[in-house]
Amino acid sequence: MAMDTLAEQIVIAGATRADAPAIHDLLRALARALDRPHDVRSTPDDIARYGFGASPSFETVIARRGTAAVGLALFFYEFSTWRGCPGVYVQDLYVDEMLRGTGLGRRLLAAVVAQAAGREARYLRLAVDAGNAAGLGFYGRLGFVAPQEQTLVLEGCDFAALVDG
């Protein structure tokens, strides 16, 4: 089947709580693709709880070919004090290996931007693994640039110690 035909069969829509297992499966596929399968510590229950509760921490658009989940963009809203406007941060973007090169990644990002524009977002941020040459090339072709910043993480015991004083 031609790639154009495959891409035409894809439907992108906002995810629901019932999609939590599929979202988790796609996140695990992303981790495997990055050769980091052991880094995923979340569960489908975590996805359901934090993505679809009374005050969701994130939103997801999911791509389906028939009943099969073949891609996702998981994102949340943020505010830039320097830009003076709201934006959207894409935490995870994944496209099934068989559908890469069909434009699905761009379509998923476009779906995020369309949704975020309704909340007055005026920029999109994301991070890409430094060793992900294909991802870096894809984002570069779309016009993404690397800012003059470095992301740091505080978690676990150090996170708790900061709260405890």
For residue 3, the model assigns a pLDDT of 54
Model pLDDT for residues 47-93, shown as the tens digit of each residue: 999 999 899 999 999 999 999 999 999 999 999 999 999 999 999 99
- Give the pLDDT score at 142: 94
pLDDT band at 1 (very low <50, low <70, confident <90, very high): low
What is the pTM (predicted TM-score) of this model? Answer: 0.90
Is pLDDT at 120 greater than 60 in this prediction? yes
Are 116 and 74 spatial neighbours (Cβ–Cβ below 8 Å)? no
Q: Which residue has the higher pLDDT, 6 or 112?
A: 112
Segment 131-154, tens digit of pLDDT: 888 999 999 999 999 888 888 888
Tell me, what's the pLDDT at 6?
62
Give the DSSP per-residue string, 24-83.
HHHHHHHHHHTT-GGG----HHHHHHHHHSSS-S-EEEEEEETTEEEEEEEEEEEEETTT
What confidence score (pLDDT) does residue 5 get? Answer: 64
* pLDDT, tens only, 5-27: 666 789 999 999 999 999 999 99
The residue type of 43 is T
- Each domain of the chain, given as residue ranges in start order, spans 3-164
CATH topology of domain 3-164: Aminopeptidase (3.40.630)
